[in-house]
Amino acid sequence: MNTKQFLTLSSVSLVGASAALATADYGPAVDRMITGCSKWYTSGYGHKFAVVHSMEGYYLTGTSYLRRCDISASCHYTVNGKTDYAGDAAPGEISQLVREAYYAWHATCWNQHSLGTEHEGFVGNPAWFTDAMYQASALLHRHFADKFGFAKDRNHIVGHGEKSNAAWCSYASANLGINPYCNTHTDPGPYWNWTYFMSLINPPAPVIVDNSNAGFTASSAWATGTAAGDKYGANYRWRSTQAVSDPASWSASNLPAGTYKIYAWWSAGSNRSTAAPYIVYHSGGSTTVTMNQQANGGKWNLLGTFNLNAGTGKVSLSCWAPSGYVVVADAIKWVR
């Protein structure tokens, strides 16, 4: 934050709960635009990089503070870390204060070149830098880079205290058109996990395991089919539904910990089960998701979003479903 004052839970009034989602530039954000004054520049030199701040305070009170017209500081967005008290916002909630087209007052001489986001928390305490915050902020910063066309790297997504990074100062002087030394702050500080944050902004490529890959296992009761035109790859496996435990399984190795969207691909047909039971294994245990394989063949179908521990991701397809049909085991995709 450009004006560093410790923000206690009682120091300023909470932002009204009636704030709307509909008009924010970034879809998931709550519209808490600054009103009654113009704490931004309407023109600048292009949004060439983004600055990560910690607000040295709490999310709702910090957001209210930055909206005050008697405070000469602003930012484009604020991000919540954790629920601090009854009635607090959910971890990972984002508020927009200044339109992305404008230039907020968050980093002195960098203002007219950058976007700024304040994060709940304190330089000296990592407790508020939660996974929900990292996940939400990473998607926001990916949005910045995609919208304004700058690279998703540490030359273009930086901390308020980046002046201590000599390599970045050289890069910024040569490429960003700024004085990298005009800020005196150190946030977000030593506890901000840049490696993890950047891995979320630049997720690994999707992992696909087809029934023909080494990560797939099934008993000999699962026949091989090739006739369907909407299959993934050269073939698929199928089995008649039956009240027995004989699943086909897909395993993806060396997955980093994180939140994944998991998809299934099958070939559709009138003889397929309308309640094909996929079992998704995740950090909380396992979840069974039933899918109608008579429809939506030949494409990726979302099973859900799940948190996975580092290591192997696994999905199984059971044949234990109403009799008289078949279940088709083709391919699974993990997307972080």
Any idea what the CATH number is for the domain that residue 136 is in?
3.40.80.10
| Residues 6+ positions from 31 with CB-CB distance below 8 Å | 19, 20, 21, 22, 23, 24, 95, 96
Write down the residue that tokens 């087209």 correspond to.
Answer: 101
Structural contact between residues 85 and 46, judged by C-beta atoms closer than 8 angstroms: no
- Domain contains 11: no
Statement to judge: residues 136 and 263 lie in one domain: no
Statement to judge: residues 87 and 143 lie in one domain: yes
Query: 136-140 long-range contacts, Cβ below 8 Å, gap at least 24?
Result: 136/28, 136/79, 136/92, 136/93, 136/94, 137/52, 137/79, 137/94, 137/197, 138/197, 138/200, 138/201, 139/28, 139/200, 140/26, 140/28, 140/29, 140/77, 140/79, 140/94
Statement to judge: residues 116 and 240 lie in one domain: no
- Domain contains 25: no
Give the model confidence (pLDDT) of 127-140 as tens digits: 999 999 999 999 99
**What pLDDT score was predicted for residue 259?**
87
What is the residue range of 183's domain?
A: 30-201
- Domain contains 7: no
Write down the residue that tokens 């930012």 correspond to.
Answer: 75
List the structure tokens of 220: 């000999």
Statement to judge: residues 110 and 257 lie in one domain: no
Statement to judge: residues 177 and 225 lie in one domain: no
Statement to judge: residues 104 and 240 lie in one domain: no
Give the model confidence (pLDDT) of 53-110 as tens digits: 999 999 999 999 999 999 999 999 999 999 999 999 999 999 999 999 999 999 999 9
- Domain contains 19: no
**What pLDDT score was predicted for residue 1?**
55
Last residue of a domain, one of 181, 201, 221: 201
| Residues 6+ positions from 74 with CB-CB distance below 8 Å | 34, 39, 40, 66, 97, 98, 104, 105, 106
3-state secondary structure of 322: coil
Last residue of a domain, one of 170, 201, 232: 201
Write down the residue that tokens 């205290």 correspond to.
Answer: 161
List the structure tokens of 323: 């009799």
Statement to judge: residues 143 and 232 lie in one domain: no
- Domain contains 172: yes
Statement to judge: residues 162 and 58 lie in one domain: yes
Statement to judge: residues 186 and 233 lie in one domain: no
CATH number of the domain bearing residue 216: 2.60.120.260
- Domain contains 17: no
| pLDDT of 20 over the 70 cut | no
Statement to judge: residues 181 and 136 lie in one domain: yes
- Domain contains 16: no
| pLDDT of 301 over the 90 cut | yes
Give the model confidence (pLDDT) of 163-183 as tens digits: 999 999 999 999 999 999 999
Statement to judge: residues 92 and 189 lie in one domain: yes
- Domain contains 105: yes
Last residue of a domain, one of 172, 201, 230: 201
Give the model confidence (pLDDT) of 207-238 as tens digits: 999 999 999 999 999 999 999 999 999 999 99
Nearest to 128 by CA among 77, 83, 63, 158: 83
Statement to judge: residues 240 and 183 lie in one domain: no
Half-sphere exposure of 227 (CA within 13 A, CB side): 5
Q: Model pTM?
A: 0.72
**What pLDDT score was predicted for residue 257?**
86
Calculate the dihedral angle through the C-alpha atoms of 266, 268, 274, 279, rounding to the nearest 10 degrees. 0
Half-sphere exposure of 51 (CA within 13 A, CB side): 35
User: How many domains does the chain contain in total?
Assistant: 2
Query: How large a percentage of the chain has pLDDT more than 90?
Result: 90
136's enclosing H/E stretch is helix 131-148
The DSSP code sequence of 214-274 is TTEE--TTSEEE---TT-SSS-EEEEE--SS---EEEEEEEEPSEEEEEEEE----TTB-S
